[in-house]
């Protein structure tokens, strides 16, 4: 969708056009669901959280002041996820359902074997997802925004209503914590050629975050 078309929809939404809002939310739905999954570790919860995000966005549509509708929706989604994590007050769903510690230990054991042993991409993705869920919510959000989505510290700070220094500090702590959770031979992992661009970008973002942590530890 072109920027001009998006601007037209945003203007229509501000005027109360529900059909325009439906088209606009459909445009951002997939990315927001991935964002909610990364923050909460639950596919099922992420669907509900996206719906809650859209509900809040519609109810507060008059509060959008620009310049980026996408950033505004991500700010709402992040706060929705924070609220959900506070209500949960237990280990994240992905850690419960997948039993994260044995999964990570199994990958550590594989690293000790021949270098020709390749991990399938599903296991690699689950290992990263499980490890990220051990981070505190704010560290998790900063890591996803900075290392995975590629947002600047300034933009992440605006979204989280924090300072740039606080975001940078949280990112450094998140990298160190993630580094401690994953095996040493991460760069030996391999995934198949059928990996989508979004999936490849996600995993490369995690790898960059982990390797940077190692460089400063």
Confidence of residue 165 (pLDDT cuts 50, 70, 90): very high
Q: Which residue has the higher pLDDT, 194 or 116?
A: 194
For the chain, the average pLDDT equals 75
Residue among 188, 183, 170, 169 nearest 214 (CA): 183
Question: Are the C-beta atoms of 177 and 134 separated by less than 8 Å?
Answer: yes
Alpha helices (H) in 15-152, listed in sequence order:
18-40, 43-59, 69-88, 93-98, 100-111, 121-132, 137-143
pLDDT at 22 over 80: yes
pLDDT at 158 over 70: yes
Q: How far apart are CA 69 and CA 72, in angstroms?
A: 5
What is the torsional sign of CA 83, 87, 92, 94? negative
Question: Are the C-beta atoms of 75 and 31 separated by less than 8 Å?
Answer: no
State the pLDDT at residue 55: 95
Q: How far apart are CA 133 and CA 42, in angstroms?
A: 10
139: buried, middle or exposed (CB in 10 Å: 19+, 13-18, 0-12)?
buried
> Which ranges in the chain are annotated with CATH 1.10.1740.10?
1-89
201: buried, middle or exposed (CB in 10 Å: 19+, 13-18, 0-12)?
middle
Specify the DSSP element, H or E, that contains 17: none
58-104 per-position pLDDT tens digit: 999 988 877 889 999 999 999 999 998 888 765 444 444 444 455 44
- Architecture of the 1-89 domain: Orthogonal Bundle (1.10)
E-only strand ranges, 88-152: none
Take residue 70 and report the two structure tokens written for it. 């996408």
Buried b (16+ CB within 10 A) or exposed e, 37-60: bbbbbbeebbeebbebbbebbeee
Mean pLDDT for 173-201 is: 62
Question: Are the C-beta atoms of 64 and 72 separated by less than 8 Å?
Answer: yes
| Global confidence as pTM | 0.66
Question: Are the C-beta atoms of 126 and 104 separated by less than 8 Å?
Answer: no
């Amino acid at each position: 969708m072109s920027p001009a078309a998006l601007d037209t929809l945003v203007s229509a939404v501000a005027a109360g056009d529900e059909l325009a809002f439906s088209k606009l939310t459909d445009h951002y739905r997939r990315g927001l669901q991935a964002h909610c999954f990364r923050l909460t570790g639950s596919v099922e919860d992420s669907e509900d959280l996206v719906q809650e995000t859209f509900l809040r966005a519609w109810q507060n549509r008059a509060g959008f002041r620009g310049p980026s509708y996408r950033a505004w929706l991500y700010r709402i989604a992040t706060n929705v996820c924070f609220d959900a994590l506070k209500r949960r007050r237990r280990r994240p769903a992905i850690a419960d359902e997948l039993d994260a510690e044995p999964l990570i230990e199994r990958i550590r054991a594989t690293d000790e074997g021949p270098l020709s042993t390749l991990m399938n991409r599903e296991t690699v993705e689950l290992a990263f997802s499980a490890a990220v869920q051990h981070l505190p919510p704010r560290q998790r959000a900063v890591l996803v925004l900075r290392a995975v989505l590629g947002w600047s510290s300034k933009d992440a700070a605006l979204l989280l209503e924090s300072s740039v220094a606080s975001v940078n500090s949280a990112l450094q702590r998140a990298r160190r914590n993630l580094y401690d959770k994953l095996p040493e031979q991460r760069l030996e992992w391999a995934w198949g050629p059928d990996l989508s661009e979004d999936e490849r970008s996600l995993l490369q973002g995690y790898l960059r975050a982990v390797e940077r942590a190692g460089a400063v530890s």
